[in-house]
Structure 1
């Protein structure tokens, strides 16, 4: 195996590691409200989300093409740059996952790659127009659009069912949530799994394995789909509690309306190849469901903290990605890539070791993301 082949292999492993963290970081986007309202038992909800993320990853490659060819100049990107960018994105994902903050895995990935590319080849290697049109503008508009759709949807479902007794109405909407939450998981697979496919494809183009402009090979699609599905099943509990109870006290009609809004916005963006943040969309939808229900309590202070995390994500991941590149480049060659890979492994072990405490488990994911609210048990039965 040549030095380039070894670096490429490490890069693929690192990319799949990011996809894994993306899965466990973003499980809450799809299933938080369904778990909190009792529509699905926690373990079943996460398993369903994992399977549908896997299926969704095979349905589209438009977003993968945006990441591979639309954000940075592939002629000026090296395998070391890609590895450094992935390091920045994974470290940010782990930090925000540990804190239970639903930040954007998508923007962490893009920020890491852009930062490493700029550090290696200068700002001219970044396709700023593509970054703005395909990433930043959708990031700004998507939560607003999703929130507006959720406001209208929530108001309509309460108005149309106002004469239905509370108990059968709640039961009916819990059943409806199973379908709407499943659509969010499917949509998440069509959009988020594509980003890692795009990064691996970019590396293969850089290495000369694929021609410029090539689409993701089947083995890349399959491996990314499996990685995000596995991550989804293993680790979504921390972020679920922030979205499920931290922002709005969710009832089944609100849950179904917010999930339907999220799925619609994500699927539309995927069709246009926009690298959308499902975290932004889901949060906007949940807030919209709170606004749409008369008398609902919306925790705007917590929403403000989340927005702050969103604004920090892309530049913070870019800084870490650039730093990782400078370290790897300073050491040089395959040794430099191996060095940042080992740092990443050690950091991952440290975060997972620090996270192993009883405060966050499938049985108490309903605890609000405030650090001061006692956890409440989540029933394993669908309430009727």
Structure 2
């Protein structure tokens, strides 16, 4: 019994570490557009997001129930070491994609990790396939599309309503709107992502006999998960903030407001329904939608394509890592120790690699020069044929960028840096 108690403690600590990585991995979801447009200073933005993530963690437990008693069958012989292995796989994938600056899904890393470890340990009987399809896979496909369409429509409506107003007259209102919508996304993120860790800890307590099956998360679980994700959010995932704020499209304040509002509504609705969707995919879809919604807007499809590839790889990649970890952990104490040591070594190596080219609040809005210009994407070119850019704005290689001479545009050493991707 003492061994089980110690193991459950290790699982709880590992789950909170995952929650921490989830926080800094997903900070960009709420604050990337607000930071990139200058509506809030970077440090203030992440502090506000951290507080609201903590508050959001206390508002609902529907998603936590989906994790603890939906995707994985808690009565199929799942042991705490299986959950431990699943968490290790999710943490490793989170850190790898953070190093690459790719806003992949922390949620799907967790799902993939739990599913991979369960399949190795107890077989297909331990996974509720219907729940995986209905509450994970379908929302994964539908949510970013819905958020993108909503953001496109909201962006076009926003520009239409303000078309006869001078930019300086609307700047203050858009800034306030961005701050409010970013706050709503942060709150929504707490209601969805913090609960996933609550669900994992609750599942560990159930499998260890500390809680009855189908039990709700205890208050201390809710509080610790909320604090862990808030701390991770405050530290800021600056690499992913740069990709979301500068790498997908050139966001103006009206677009940022529309993207964040569309994303927040989608996340809150899904949390209410108990859908454990990826807030990263929702917010990324909304940002792409805002780029399509602005006349003359540019979406960098090469960056978007890399993100989509990362989304598709997340479930199987985290699952494979966790499957290997589960195999080792199933060998006994030495296997669990080996998994822990290997996990720490990999995480340490990733952190050391990130220090070679650090990204922080001082350079998060810098755009890395592009070695060579890419030709205009087919999708963007077709859209601009229907909705040409406004006068004085070009997209690749011409003399101005959003009305600013290319030579003077901030963070744009050459016209090639603004080529449509």
Shorter-chain-normalised TM-score: which range?
Answer: over 0.9
**1:79, 1:206 within 8 Å by CA — same for their partners in 2?**
yes
Q: Could you say what the CA RMSD is over the residues aligned between the two structures, in angstroms?
A: 1.7
1:70 alignment partner in structure 2: 70
Map residues 166-177 of structure 1 onto 2, 5 A cutoff: 166-177=167-178
* Cα distance in 2 between the residues matched to 1:282 and 1:338: 37
Residues 1:259 and 2:253 aligned together: no
* Cα distance in 2 between the residues matched to 1:255 and 1:319: 36
Which string of whole-angstrom CA distances, capped at 9 and with x for unpartnered residues, describes residues 22-42 of structure 1?
Answer: 000000000000001010000
**1:64, 1:216 within 8 Å by CA — same for their partners in 2?**
yes
1:112 alignment partner in structure 2: 113
* Cα distance in 1 between the residues matched to 2:213 and 2:229: 26
1:22 alignment partner in structure 2: 22
1:382 alignment partner in structure 2: none
Map residues 96-175 of structure 1 onto 2, 5 A cutoff: 96-175=97-176
| Cα distance change, pair 299–10 in 1 and its aligned pair in 2 (3 A) | same
Which string of whole-angstrom CA distances, capped at 9 and with x for unpartnered residues, describes residues 45-65 of structure 1?
Answer: 010011111100110100000
* Cα distance in 2 between the residues matched to 1:327 and 1:375: 51
SS of the aligned residue for 2:251 comes to coil
* Cα distance in 1 between the residues matched to 2:167 and 2:302: 30
Which string of whole-angstrom CA distances, capped at 9 and with x for unpartnered residues, describes residues 147-203 of structure 1?
Answer: 011011000010001111012222320121000000000000000000010001001
* Cα distance in 1 between the residues matched to 2:266 and 2:111: 20
2:352 alignment partner in structure 1: 353
* Cα distance in 1 between the residues matched to 2:369 and 2:280: 19
Which string of whole-angstrom CA distances, capped at 9 and with x for unpartnered residues, describes residues 94-149 of structure 1?
Answer: 10011111000000001000000000011121100000000000000000000011
Q: Which has the higher contact order (CA 8 A, sep 6+)?
A: 1
1:38 alignment partner in structure 2: 38
Cα offset, 1:368, TM superposition: 4.1
Which string of whole-angstrom CA distances, capped at 9 and with x for unpartnered residues, describes residues 207-240 of structure 1?
Answer: 0111110010101000000000001111310100
Q: Which has the larger radius of gyration?
A: 2
* Cα distance in 1 between the residues matched to 2:169 and 2:138: 41
* Cα distance in 1 between the residues matched to 2:336 and 2:94: 20
Map residues 323-338 of structure 1 onto 2, 5 A cutoff: 323-330=324-331, 332=332, 334-338=333-337
Map residues 192-203 of structure 1 onto 2, 5 A cutoff: 192-203=193-204
**1:246, 1:370 within 8 Å by CA — same for their partners in 2?**
no
1:344 alignment partner in structure 2: 343
| Cα distance change, pair 5–375 in 1 and its aligned pair in 2 (3 A) | farther
Residues 1:3 and 2:3 aligned together: yes
Cα offset, 1:360, TM superposition: 1.0
1:286 alignment partner in structure 2: 287
> In the comparison of the two structures, how many residue pairs are matched?
375
Cα offset, 1:375, TM superposition: 9.5
| Cα distance change, pair 137–317 in 1 and its aligned pair in 2 (3 A) | same
| Cα distance change, pair 56–371 in 1 and its aligned pair in 2 (3 A) | farther
Q: Which moved more, 1:362-371 or 1:195-204?
A: 362-371
Higher helix share: 1
**2:367, 2:411 within 8 Å by CA — same for their partners in 1?**
no
Cα offset, 1:327, TM superposition: 1.3
Cα offset, 1:351, TM superposition: 1.7
SS of the aligned residue for 1:77 comes to coil
| Cα distance change, pair 29–264 in 1 and its aligned pair in 2 (3 A) | same
* Cα distance in 2 between the residues matched to 1:346 and 1:91: 10
**2:144, 2:281 within 8 Å by CA — same for their partners in 1?**
yes
TM, length-normalised to structure 1: 0.95
1:58 alignment partner in structure 2: 58
Cα offset, 1:367, TM superposition: 3.2
Cα offset, 1:339, TM superposition: 2.4
| Cα distance change, pair 295–375 in 1 and its aligned pair in 2 (3 A) | closer
1:364 alignment partner in structure 2: 363
Cα offset, 1:79, TM superposition: 0.5
**1:364, 1:375 within 8 Å by CA — same for their partners in 2?**
no
1:13 alignment partner in structure 2: 13
**1:184, 1:263 within 8 Å by CA — same for their partners in 2?**
yes
2:86 alignment partner in structure 1: 85
* Cα distance in 2 between the residues matched to 1:28 and 1:46: 9
**Runs (5+) with no aligned partner, structure 2:** 373-408, 413-421
SS of the aligned residue for 1:167 comes to helix
Q: Which moved more, 1:143-152 or 1:162-171?
A: 162-171
